[in-house]
């Protein structure tokens, strides 16, 4: 994915300004072109599904 999540849109990976909007579910910057689109929803889902890859909960 992208090298620096805070300087690029997590959907299209284009550079963003410091004060840009952030996706409330994953707290990553999203540009105005991608905000609210199906591509943003898909990117959120893909990131959330990949968060647990390789991790095992120790509470079980």
By C-alpha distance, which of 51, 52, 29, 50 is closest to 40?
29
**Which pLDDT value is given to residue 18?**
82
So where are the chain's domains? 1-37
pLDDT, averaged across the chain? 83
**Which pLDDT value is given to residue 4?**
66
**Averaged pLDDT for residues 29-36:** 94
Q: pLDDT tier at 2 (50, 70, 90 boundaries)?
A: very low
Which has more pLDDT, 1 or 36? 36
pLDDT value at 43 more than 70: yes
State whether the Cα torsion 25-29-35-41 is positive or negative.
Answer: negative
């Amino acid at each position: 994915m992208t090298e620096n999540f805070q300087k690029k849109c997590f959907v299209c990976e284009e550079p963003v300004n410091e004060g840009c909007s952030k996706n409330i579910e994953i707290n990553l910057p999203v540009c105005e072109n991608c905000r609210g689109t199906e591509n943003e929803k898909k990117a959120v889902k893909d990131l959330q599904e990949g968060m647990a890859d390789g991790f095992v909960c120790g509470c079980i």
